[in-house]
A = this chain, B = another copy of it.
Amino acid sequence: MEFMAPTITCAEILKEAVSDPSNGNHIASAMELYIMGLQKQLCEALAAIDGSQFKTDKWERPNNGGGGVTCVLQDGNVFEKAGVGVSVVHGTLSKNAIQQMKSRGKELFGDSVEFRALGISSVIHPKSPHVPTMHFNYRFFEIPEGDSKLWWFGGGSDLTPTYLHEGDATHFHTTLKAACDTHSAEYYPKFKKWCDEYFYIKHREESRGVGGIFFDDLDYIPINDAFSFVKSCGNAVIPSYIPLIKQHMDEKYTEEELEWKLLRRGRYVEFNLVLDRGTKFGLHTENARIESILMSLPLNARWEYMNEPGEREKVLLEVLKNPREWC
């Protein structure tokens, strides 16, 4: 099979739209095929490493509002929880969403605004405290018709280690920078900074991890160029991350290291439930598929009162408090 499940949009309609650049659904259709393909590639790469298979669920939104394909490998040999989800949804923006978008500078007219949103989202939590957690998300948002006609891309990719391996952070960032640089020398520095700012857990005064790239509202270059940039970022996911898994997955670890991992996973939960815009948006959406939204949470997490980190743990915390340049 070409993908993990059949596409959300009918395959015939997709084929027609991608073959015709003048078709109003050309980019959305190409994006749907691209993210379905990336989902398949990544799931296959992870399943091959783990030696076990992803569970694939195809789901639909009520009232013909689109749907998605959620793939999760849980409690595997290498991965505690690896989720790769695609969603292709459409509907009418809530008043709240209209207001929020206006406050971000979007020119929207009227009370009823039709939208469609396509995206791929993934969080990989490995078992070993030596293999970092990785998250990425790339999405296309479109108001396809009427006075409010608009589109933009957003997304990013970031790394969350339990223990700092400087080489990992450098490899991850260097790979992302290379993907950015083929499009504009301005992207990596700008989106790296944005990532550090976005993934900051204010109440802990520390970053979630060692960052990566993050961007939103990418609508200021031609749509084909923006899509091409997003594909470069998506194509960088596997080369930026898979080598780090392979390098560390067989390293031995101790009970103390596992406990530190659980505490860091607790911080991941705090970020996702308290701060992450996508998660909060999902939790407040009627008829959302909650299992897909919360697949990003780790299998296990821990909160200790007044934990005293050791020397090696403090090395990570130092970097989380003072983000570094990695390339």
Q: Decide if A20 is an interface residue (CB 8 Å cutoff).
A: no
State the Cβ distance, A122 to closest chain B Cβ, in Å. Answer: 13
A269: nearest chain-B partner, CB-CB:
B269
Query: Judging by beta carbons under 8 Å apart, are A83 and B291 in contact?
Result: no
Q: B274 touching A305 by the CB < 8 A rule?
A: no
A195 within 8 Å of B (CB atoms): no
Is A295 in the interface zone, CB < 8 Å from B?
A: yes
* B residues less than 8 Å from A291 (CB atoms): 305-306
**Interface readout for A301-324 with B: 1 if CB under 8 Å, 0 if not?**
111111000000000000000000
- Contact sample, A vs B, 5 pairs, CB 8 Å cutoff: A81-B303, A203-B284, A295-B305, A299-B304, A301-B301
14 additional A-B residue pairs with CB within 8 Å, beyond A203-B283, A204-B290, A299-B303: A55-B306, A74-B304, A74-B305, A262-B300, A266-B301, A269-B301, A273-B273, A274-B280, A274-B283, A291-B305, A294-B303, A299-B302, A299-B304, A300-B300
Give how many A residues have a beta carbon under 8 Å from the other chain's beta carbons.
Answer: 33
Q: B-contacting residues of A (Cβ < 8 Å)?
A: 55, 57, 72, 74, 81, 83, 202-204, 262, 266, 269-270, 273-274, 280, 283-284, 288, 290-291, 294-295, 297-306
CB proximity of A179 to chain B, nearest CB, Å = 29
Complex Cα gap A202–B74 (Å): 26
